Structure 1
Amino acid sequence: MPEARDDAWRTLSECPLALVDDGYAATGRDIVETVLKNPSIFSSQKAFDVLGSPVPLVPIAFDPPEQTRYRRILQPFFSPRVIKPLEDELRQQVIDLVEPIAAKGQCDFIAEVAGVYPVQVFLTLFGLPLDMRDQFVEWKNAVLGLTAAGGATAVDEAAQEGMQKAAELFMYLSELIQKRRGVPGDDVLSQVLNIGPPDALSDEEAIGLCFLFVLAGLDTVMDALGFGIQRLAQNPDRRRELAGDLSLVPAATEELLRLDPPAPFLPRVTAEETTLGGQTLPEGTRISGYLATANRDEELFKDAWNIDFHRPENRHISFGMGVHRCLGSHLARLEMNLVYEEWHKRIPEYHITPGTTPRVHWPRGTTGLDSLHLTVGNPGA
């Protein structure tokens, strides 16, 4: 996985339902769809219970009917109608990040673009000042470091620091919610907090929503952008095709998401005994949908392992499917479209800096690159 993730996905895809360290891996498209479309049997809530979160991670850590209520309340705030008016401001933020890179001719794309832009988008959406970006990056990294511990029980120095940072974030969000409650505002958080009964969210639910946004909405876009630019850097024909015709950007976003879902493992736990892929799974069995393998089903995707910006129908499931399909998918798409468009307007030619190797941080619940060092221009120029 660290240096050749496609080889890892290819190996995993050979077995549609595989026994792995933490339960079962559903890799076949049909099996993944069965798991994601049946929340009464394959529970998201039971999967997230093991995290022991001090706040309710709204809405992902719930099953219907509670999840249905949260989804109904929150969906309007993440619709294209709400997201579209932010486009000009978010586009300018991309330009401000990319232009200095074009001028100096090199960068670490993760540290200088992919790792900071989604945080700025979050701050914009929630009506927070952009000068809090670095603080939120620090909080986000610490909290995600805790969730990536893989169940380790040793309370080492890094874990203690992570818990301290998580507590700082919790206190900041608690105070912010108190300030915004009952105060009209255009930002999403103010609007959510001012929903009247019977749909009003409690302080605890609002903090959980913010926590989930930090956990699920920042690194995922960062990882998707890093993977996408890496693939384009390593496939110069596709990169030049895109740079030469920016109308392909939306299709490119979908295709790059298909190959590299940034949250490729969707955990569930069986709520009852069930049969899946010829296996009898007792109640309480952990099973994860492996989206990167499901997205490479040769029956759905011709030449599934290669980049193709002209697929007639790109039915990837990188945002999940069923009741838990990603609430922020419209925002994520907009972020990625803007970055690919403004980057390739200014930097049509780039390559991975010689002597550097992009590596996936692994093992971890999400997949993404630690760094991506790029040099502007043709490698032979």
Structure 2
Amino acid sequence: MAPPCGSGRRWSRAVKMTFYLFFLIPMSSAGNRNTNTIFGKKQKLEVQQQLKRLNKPALKSIESPDGDIIDCVDIYKQPAFDHPLLKNHTIQMRPSSYPEGFSFDEINDISSNSEPEFTQPWHLNGRCPEGTIPIRRIKEEDLLRAGSVANFGRKKYHTIPHAQNKIDRTSYELATYGEAGDKYYGMMAEMNLWNPHTHDENEFTLSQFWLEGGEYGQDFDSIQAGAMVYEHLYQDRNTRLFLYWTDDAYQSTGCYNLMCPGFVQLDKQIAMGAIVTPYSKYDGDQFALKFYVWKDVNGRGDWWLKINNRDFGYWPSSIFSILSDSAASVRWGGEVLNYNPEGQHTTTQMGSGHLAEEGPRKASFFKNLNVIDGLQILRGPRKTTTVVTNPNCYSILTYGGLFYYGGPGRNPNCP
């Protein structure tokens, strides 16, 4: 039997190693350095075997107008239960309680039949039936482009983003706002949705929240979710919903969406990794997403994720070490992977692609910011800090529980 989700027991190194040797071992020892590799029969067979592990049998499949295939998978056969600590996991269909005061106007509407306040293109061609969840199908070219299963769905850098002394300024840029110094059991935020430009397929741009605990290089946990543009992962430059987690500072655990076991999804309307619309318009209509995360301290201690008014799913407490107890910091903001093409700063945009100084309806925002602190009290951020790697490229302006952020990347002041 798996240990109780709130037990806080750390994985043994042997269990972790067994798991990742099985699920994340590279598909070949040579020749997988780029997506143009010509794979031999053996490698192609390994790819097909891995696709069978990743893509669970579908009760229904929906072809999206954007080319994605959405598989409606039995909720009890989703990828989460390939995790060695979740083999005997009992799904929680809803949290045991909501934190006191933890609400927007619609948070009390917990109907599983309500519609999300945004759309995904696959909805035009069908919906998943009750008892299933929508999962974006992984294709052969996705694995070949990654070069190895070990790289697929994982972040390309292994550094803690918010420790300023560890920032590699040649690889990514940040504009974030947050708080540390307490115990944190949740957060809430609302962000407007954009479709920023990326310079090339290997760079990404994202807007998200981070809940983190531990120390990088020792034991570091993080849960994250938001919206991103990442052509290398998705084969286009559309904005897509994502979630991410890691239990060891991005070294071997964790990945985007449901690409490896861990996160338990409940929602049948929202597909992680799928395009999300509508986008906000510069000096026009603004469209926002609301994220709520909280630790179900009255239940098993799982970290629940609500998107708008829908209980989307949860990260089981047992897959973490530090976060099995609480988080040590909460952050919101934007991040850009910058490869400095031709020796210049990338033109990849953050947020709306406009600097924070442009303000309402022009710059990206996060608002309605709150945390659940060590006293289990919902409150606004206090003693906050900002991290801005290059304010001439991407900036941030804060106004209490609201901040603007973003920028164009390369410009006359950011060569």
Q: Normalising by the residue count of structure 1, what TM-score does the alignment of the two structures yield?
A: 0.27
Q: Normalising by the residue count of structure 2, what TM-score does the alignment of the two structures yield?
A: 0.25
Q: Which structure has greater strand proportion? A: 2
